[in-house]
């Protein structure tokens, strides 16, 4: 077993060394587009069904799809350590989702969303640099510009009802911001945990992570007495969102094997731009000045990072 793993790891490492750097950037950008689409689908579905049920069903759909796909993928030899990192990633993203939705419920979205996104990308980028990655001045400037774009594009105009405005204003600074920070740290740990998986493990750690999330949210739904039944159109959106989320995770995991973590996680974290563009095209929402500036910054950041 160990010998087979070493052989598989050796073959994959040779392939990684021969792969062009642009492949990592394309995979990371693909994961950002898929993450944004998944968030958009989840947001639309959560307006019509329980958030706990939406998260649980979407994660289960992705888990089933990945389990059905694994036998058709190239052979992988995951070690116990790889599966353990997958479990850690599952715990991290479960906590991240839980705190994120709670923060959005009690805090101001214009504060929660950018705080979570920026905090999530800073955790793995900082860890990568502490571990010795040196992206260079040009790519470092691109990373900073990408962080600015994430904060700008995440801005949303929220107009609470007059009677709710006082409650939101009073609770947001105390609880919403704190939980947004915790959520961002947890999501950042999810990114960092998946990056620790060896190439020879394939997508098995993702399956473990998804199983952990489904178990936790499924248990929460059962404990709260939530029914998973929902209208067929909503169920289709939920399942589609779960499949897109799984695709995003897979693309991100592959990208970490082909490029430096600091750059990959930054490009993958440009997902708010995808969500905004879908809202414009599907829901007919209007693009604010800050969001437009954020998308422009994101495009420039991609050119700077890839060109560096």
SS (H, E, C) the chain: CHHHHHHHHHHHHHHHHHCCHHHHHHHHHHHHHHHHHHHHHHHHHHCCCCHHHHHHHHHHHHHHHHHHHHHHCCCCCCCHHHHHHHHHHHHHHHHHHHHHHHHHHHCCHHHHHHHHHHHHHHHHHHHHHHCCCCCHHHHHHHHHHHHHHHHHHCCCCCCCCHHHHHHHHHHHHHHHHHHHHHHHHHHHHHHHHHHCCCHHHCCHHHHHHHHHHHHHHHHHHHHCCCCCCCCHHHHHHHHHHHHHHHHHHHHHHHHHHHCCHHHHHHHHCCHHHHHHHHHHHHHCCCCCHHHHHHHHHHHHHHHHHHHC
Read off the pLDDT band of 180 (50, 70, 90).
confident
For residue 136, how many other CB atoms are within 10 A of its CB? 11
Higher pLDDT, 195 or 279: 195
> Which range, 49-53, 183-187, 281-285, 296-300, is most confident?
183-187
pLDDT at position 107 is: 60
Give the C-alpha distances (Å, rounded to integers) separating 248 from 109, 164, 173, 217.
23, 36, 32, 20
Rounded to whole angstroms, the maximal C-alpha distance in the chain is 66
Higher pLDDT, 113 or 212: 212
Read off the pLDDT band of 24 (50, 70, 90).
confident
Q: How far apart are CA 112 and CA 95, in angstroms?
A: 15
Q: What percent of the chain is predicted at pLDDT more than 70? A: 79
Q: Where are the domains of the chain?
A: 22-156+174-307
Question: Averaged over 87-100, what is the pLDDT?
Answer: 87
- Structure tokens given for 61: 């759909």
pLDDT at position 298 is: 77
Read off the pLDDT band of 166 (50, 70, 90).
very low
For residue 102, how many other CB atoms are within 10 A of its CB? 18
The mean predicted confidence, pLDDT, of the chain is 78
Read off the pLDDT band of 174 (50, 70, 90).
very low
Cα 154 versus chain centre, distance = 14
- Lowest pLDDT segment from 83-97, 146-160, 261-275: 146-160
Q: Does 78 score more than 70 pLDDT?
A: yes
- Lowest pLDDT segment from 7-11, 144-148, 170-174: 170-174
Dump pLDDT digits (tens) for 105-163: 566 555 566 677 777 887 888 888 788 877 778 778 887 887 888 777 766 554 444 44
Q: Is the dihedral of CA 71, 76, 79, 83 positive or negative?
A: negative
Is there a contact between 62 and 242 (Cβ–Cβ < 8 Å)?
Answer: yes
Read off the pLDDT band of 30 (50, 70, 90).
very high
């Amino acid at each position: 077993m160990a010998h087979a793993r070493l052989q598989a790891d050796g073959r994959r490492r040779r392939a990684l060394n021969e792969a062009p750097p642009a492949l990592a950037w394309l995979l990371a950008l693909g994961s950002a587009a898929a993450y944004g689409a998944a968030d958009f689908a989840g947001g639309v579905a959560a307006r019509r069904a329980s958030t706990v049920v939406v998260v649980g069903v979407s994660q289960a759909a992705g888990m089933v799809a990945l389990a059905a796909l694994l036998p058709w993928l190239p052979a992988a030899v995951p070690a116990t350590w790889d599966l353990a990192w997958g479990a850690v990633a599952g715990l991290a993203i479960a906590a991240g989702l839980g705190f994120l939705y709670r923060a959005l419920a009690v805090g101001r979205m214009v504060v929660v969303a950018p705080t979570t996104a920026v905090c999530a990308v800073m955790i793995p980028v900082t860890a990568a640099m502490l571990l010795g990655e040196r992206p260079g001045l040009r790519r470092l400037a691109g990373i900073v510009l990408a962080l600015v774009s994430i904060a700008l594009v995440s801005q949303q105009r929220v107009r609470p009802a007059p009677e709710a405005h006082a409650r939101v204003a009073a609770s947001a600074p105390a609880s919403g911001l704190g939980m947004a920070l915790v959520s961002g740290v947890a999501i950042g740990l999810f990114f960092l945990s998946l990056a620790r998986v060896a190439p020879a493990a394939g997508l098995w750690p993702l399956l473990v992570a998804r199983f952990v999330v489904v178990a936790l949210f499924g248990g929460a739904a059962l404990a709260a007495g939530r029914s998973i039944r929902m209208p067929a159109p909503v169920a289709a959106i939920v399942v589609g969102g779960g499949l897109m989320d799984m695709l995003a995770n897979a693309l991100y995991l592959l990208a970490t094997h082909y490029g430096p973590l600091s750059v990959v996680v930054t490009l993958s974290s440009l997902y708010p731009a995808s969500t905004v563009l879908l809202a414009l095209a599907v829901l007919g929402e209007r693009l604010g000045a800050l969001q437009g500036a954020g998308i422009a910054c994101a495009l420039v950041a991609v050119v700077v990072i890839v060109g560096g």
